Structure 1
Amino acid sequence: MTAQDSTFRGFANPVDPSSAELRAWAYQPDSVPLAAMPQDWDLLVAGNGLVTTLFDLAMDPACPARRFALHCLYIYAAGGIRSGFRAHPKRRFWKLVERAEREGDEPMRTWAQNSRILLAQPDVFVYRDWCEGGLVRENRRLP
């Protein structure tokens, strides 16, 4: 049974969702709208524990919560890069970037390219773009 087939029954703890809960919610996001989530929920889930789940969701063009997952990947990238990879392991980050470049569609390749640009030019960081969804909404490549 896949997440798409399962019924989302809610989060045991929305502040610390499991990978299975996040995946089930992502395919039925109207069951618990983002507005009903704790404040800054995106910042809470965009950490190491759920990044591979978020990446898988963002790689799936059929996922209803794909834009949310991609937004969380931008938060993850910015957090890792801006902390000098103290917040997130550099190796895991690079594996995701390389996989997005190899296997991803245009929004995922854009995320990978923007992440590489931020690493090379930290001054391109704008909170609104990276942490409030600006780059996802605009599907914009950094110069």
Structure 2
Amino acid sequence: MSVQESTFHGFANPVDPSPDELRAWAYHPDSVPLTSMPPDWDLLVAGDHLVSTLFELAMDQNCPARRFALHCLYIYAADGIRTNFKAHPKRRFRKLVEQAERGGDELMRNWAHNSRMLLARPELFVYHDWCEGGLVRDNRRLG
């Protein structure tokens, strides 16, 4: 049985979900609504431990929680860049950006483009865009 076919029954620890739990939730997000999650849950899950899972979910056009995963990737990118990669490894970040450029659709290529723009011009950081979902909702490319 695949993750998409199974039912998700909740997180053992929502503050620190496992990759399998996050993946299962992403295909059944109504089973545990975001409104019931801890405050700033997006900030909690947007770290190294789950970034590969978030990237996989964001790349899947059929994932119901895709936009949430993409939102977390924006947080991850901004956090890494703004801390000069003390928060996250630069190598992992670059690999994700390159993967999105090669195999992603418009949403993912925009994330890659915007991440490269922020890397080149950190002054482009606007909290609303990067950490509150503005760039996901608008799906725009920074110039």
Same fold by TM (over 0.5)? yes
RMSD over equivalenced CA pairs, Å: 0.5
Percentage of matched positions with identical amino acids: 77
What does residue 134 of structure 1 align with? 134
Unaligned segments of structure 2, at least 5 residues: none
Say yes or no: does 1:50 pair with 2:28: no
What does residue 78 of structure 1 align with? 78
For 1:38, the aligned partner's letter is P
How far 1:2 moved relative to its partner? 2.1
* 1:1-143 matches, cutoff 5 A: 1-143=1-143
For 1:73, the aligned partner's letter is L
TM-score (norm 2): 0.99
Tell me which stretches of 4 or more aligned residues in structure 1 moved more than 4 Å. none
CA distance in structure 2 between the partners assigned to 1:2 and 1:133 by the alignment = 29
CA distance in structure 1 between the partners assigned to 2:4 and 2:123 by the alignment = 40
TM-score (norm 1): 0.99
Q: How many residues align?
A: 143
Unaligned segments of structure 1, at least 5 residues: none
SS of match in other structure, 1:93: helix
How far 1:3 moved relative to its partner? 1.4
For 1:44, the aligned partner's letter is L
For 1:53, the aligned partner's letter is T
How far 1:6 moved relative to its partner? 1.8
CA distance in structure 2 between the partners assigned to 1:110 and 1:142 by the alignment = 9
